[in-house]
Amino acid sequence: MLGLFLNLVGIFTENIKNTTNNNDITESVIDEISFIPHVYNDRIGIQNVMVKPDKLFMRSTIDESAMVRWEIQNPQNNWSFTFEFNELNLESRESAGIFLFYTKEKPVIGSFKGGPSKFHGFAVGLEFVGKGVELVYAKNDGIDYTNMDEYVSVIDSLNPKRFSNLETLKLKVICTDKNFKVEIYDGDTVIYDNFRFFTKDYLEFAKGGSYLSLFADYKHVSSGKAFELRNAQLYHREETPDYSVTKVNMQKITTQVKPKSEIKHPNVDVQDLLFKINAVISYTKAVIGELPETSIIKAEKELIKEVDSLSEKVGKMKTGVSGRTNRNDLDGKINQLDVQLKRLSKIVNDVDYLTESTSEVASHKYHLILEYFVIFSGIFAVSVMFIREMRNFIDNRKHKLSINK
């Protein structure tokens, strides 16, 4: 694969001159794994990418994905990686994603998030569907993930308000002995940092010795839109004993029901409809809560504790099915329920966003009414499906435990 050649207007600076010290953390630049405009780096491989003077245009054909890959392995066990890119401002039918793959093998373009469907490592990034934004994570130990996106992905649906009027975003992936964490920035301001793992089964995928790659994937996106990689940088990261892995720095977005007088629309009927929709949204959020501490997720945690307790009493299954397999089945089912819950929350957030963005527009009022009717029909359908799945799962679990007794 051809290396990336850019005009050389500077030389690499030494790590000691590129160190960030923020009380509880210290980060030092790893020069070899980076993209800096106008700076030569022959350790980068590209595919379906157009090189421009100050950025990498990650799209050269309408239908294919694009890849930027560093050809050397990450030497660090404790590291962070940042990359900056543009916001695409998609229409409702358009969807696109940009993902970091961290893999034992050199990845190639494929069917899973633009990258390979079979790999050893993890993939994490942002998926944009219209104005909606989802943070997606998947780890893999050599299984073929073709057509398995929703079953293997951990998804967090982000509030669209956090991304309003933004032109550039920076994604930071943190991998240390203490935690795995994803942060999203607008410039130097944290707008989201609530996605994290602490358990060994996730942290083991982030150790040094793997390849870093970026993939861009597009579905029904007009040819003039593409992710533009502005810069990328790998850091060696050190966290002091005082560093808190649970601290959240992003600002909380408060929601409340607007008085009808504050909803500006020339048509009284539409104004009344918007007021009622706002009330329904606030009530729904009050019932299920804000992610990640929804009442359903809290119930999931209690269910896991209950099943673990019962598993200790039952002991090893004489049928030959290990406790690990049972736990994997449980985790898989809970992950499916979690995805359904987050899809429901995404619909609620999208309705909330559409309510504010369209409340001051006088035209297309009948289309607006129809659109909300369809959305709330979807909410009702997903809710019924989720309740049914949860009920079936609990009944099946009770039945299996009664048999094994």
Structural domain spans, the chain: 15-239, 260-404
pLDDT, tens digit (0-9, with 9 covering 90-100), for 144-198: 999 998 889 999 989 888 998 899 999 999 999 999 999 999 999 999 999 999 8
From CA 313, how far away is CA 214, in angstroms rounded? 47
DSSP structural state of residue 267: -
Residue that has been written with the tokens 């993890």 in this structure: 122
pLDDT, tens digit (0-9, with 9 covering 90-100), for 300-344: 566 666 666 666 666 655 455 444 445 556 666 666 666 666 666
Give the lowest-confidence range in 101-110, 253-262, 392-401.
392-401
> 268 and 367 in contact (C-beta within 8 Å)?
no
DSSP structural state of residue 16: G
| pLDDT at site 286 | 55
From CA 149, how far away is CA 146, in angstroms rounded? 8
Mean pLDDT to the nearest integer, 365-390: 62
pLDDT, tens digit (0-9, with 9 covering 90-100), for 235-257: 999 999 999 989 999 988 766 66
Contacts of 228 (CB under 8 A, 6+ apart): 52, 55, 56, 57, 58, 85, 86
From CA 151, how far away is CA 130, in angstroms rounded? 22
Record the tokens describing residue 154, joined without a space.
């951990």
Q: Can you give the pTM of this predicted structure?
A: 0.64
Counting Cα atoms < 13 Å in the Cβ hemisphere of 182 gives 22
The strand pair at 180-186 and 44-47 is best described as unpaired
| pLDDT at site 318 | 46
| pLDDT at site 327 | 56
Q: Give the number of other Cβ atoms within 10 Å of residue 238's Cβ.
A: 15
| pLDDT at site 36 | 96
Give the lowest-confidence range in 2-11, 141-150, 347-356, 393-402.
2-11
| pLDDT at site 290 | 52
Using DSSP's 3-state secondary structure scheme, residue 198 falls into coil
pLDDT, tens digit (0-9, with 9 covering 90-100), for 194-237: 999 988 889 999 999 999 999 999 999 998 899 999 999 999 99
Residue type for 114, please? Answer: G
Record the tokens describing residue 361, joined without a space.
């527009």
| pLDDT at site 111 | 95
From CA 276, how far away is CA 376, in angstroms rounded? 12
From CA 25, how far away is CA 316, in angstroms rounded? 44
Q: Give the number of other Cβ atoms within 10 Å of residue 164's Cβ.
A: 11
pLDDT, tens digit (0-9, with 9 covering 90-100), for 36-76: 999 988 999 999 999 998 999 999 888 889 999 999 999 99
The strand pair at 132-144 and 118-129 is best described as antiparallel
Q: Give the number of other Cβ atoms within 10 Å of residue 226's Cβ.
A: 23
Looking at the chain, the whole-number percentage of residues with pLDDT higher than 70 is: 62
From CA 182, how far away is CA 201, in angstroms rounded? 17
- Report domain 15-239's class: mainly beta
